[in-house]
Amino acid sequence: MEFIKTLTSPLFIIVVLLLVAFIMMCGKRKDFAHWLFGLALTSLFFLSFPPFANVLMWGLERQNPPIVNIAKIEKTRYIVVLADWDSAIPTVPYTSNIGYISAQRILEAHRIYQRLRHSRIIISGKKISCDEMQKLLLLLGVPKDEILREDESQNTWESSINVKKLVSSSRFILVTSANHLPRAMICFLYHGLKPIPAPADFHSGYNLTYKTQFDKPIIGYFPNINSLNDSHLAIYEYLGICWYQVKVWLKS
């Protein structure tokens, strides 16, 4: 999945376009090279332009409202939190190994868990990530016997299959990043599970209608690397949604 994520990265594609354009500039296809240069630079501008990146993120994050009032959630036995891709570097503390995405998902799961003490937390994903996320939960005071692990999944589709073995037909709260939740819901619903979506790690905030904030300093609208990364994450999720929709259609 990381290989595919790299290949679909806007920055990778833009660099390839610039490289091809440079090679053509050295040959006889200079007109086409100029066109490729223009395409690459235009893409770089828009994908790193904050309002454009926010629109891409908003299209994903608007689909599932955050759980604000936990008291209104029906009683559930499980809180499932999906792991991101984390590292395991032995020379640094585990707090440096866990990525901010996994950390935000764990913090949201813990916030819900504090109000639903009868629930158990299930961590699903790669073993390395599950290790780091479990350490963080223990640091936050969650008893070890209230943490379950499913660490054989390599992607969201596999998580939905393996989590079903633990929750059976029970309703559960599904915690993952707000931009990842639409894709996750496709997988979990297809496999007959009953998830209650609990988005975390918002980038554009939650609004049913898109809102551009004009109260930022003018420099806040300049192209920047954070917006380029947001565009990358959003495009990857849109492609993932399309792929899983096709997968569901082919299996139907």
pLDDT tens digits, residue range 189-216?
Answer: 999 999 999 999 999 888 877 766 656 6
Q: Check whether residue 28 and residue 129 sit in a common domain.
A: no
- pLDDT for 213 equals 60
For the chain, the domain total comes to: 2
* Contact (Cβ atoms closer than 8 angstroms) between residue 171 and residue 145: no
Per-residue confidence at 111, pLDDT binned at 50, 70, 90? very high
Q: Averaged over 231-246, what is the pLDDT?
A: 93
What's the pLDDT band for 27 if we cut at 50, 70, 90? confident
In the numeric block, which tokens belong to residue 173?
A: 């709260």
Query: Does 226 map to a domain?
Result: no
Q: Are residues 23 and 133 in the same domain?
A: no
The pair of three-digit structure tokens given for residue 90, joined into one six-digit string: 């032995």
User: For residue 229, what pLDDT is reported?
Assistant: 93
- The first and second tokens of residue 158, run together, are 């596999």
> Do residues 193 and 80 both lie within one domain?
yes
Asked if the structure places residue 230 within a domain, the reply is: no
Q: What is the pTM of this model?
A: 0.90
Q: Do residue 83 and residue 149 come from a single domain?
A: yes
Residue 134 domain-assigned (yes or no): yes
List the one residue out of 52, 64, 50, 54 whose CA is nearest residue 178.
Answer: 64
Residues 194, 75: one domain? yes
SS3 131: helix
CB-based contact 133:106 (threshold 8 Å): yes
Rounded Cα distance between 8 and 134, Å, is: 30
Residues 6+ apart with CB under 8 A from 107: 200
CATH code for position 155: 3.40.50.620
CA-to-CA distance for 240 and 43, rounded, in angstroms?
21
Q: What is the pLDDT of residue 30?
A: 78
Burial class (CB in 10 A: 0-12, 13-18, 19+), 222: exposed
pLDDT (average), residues 57-86: 90
Return the ∠ at Cα 205 (arms to 87 and 51), rounded to 5°.
95
Host domain of residue 95:
70-200
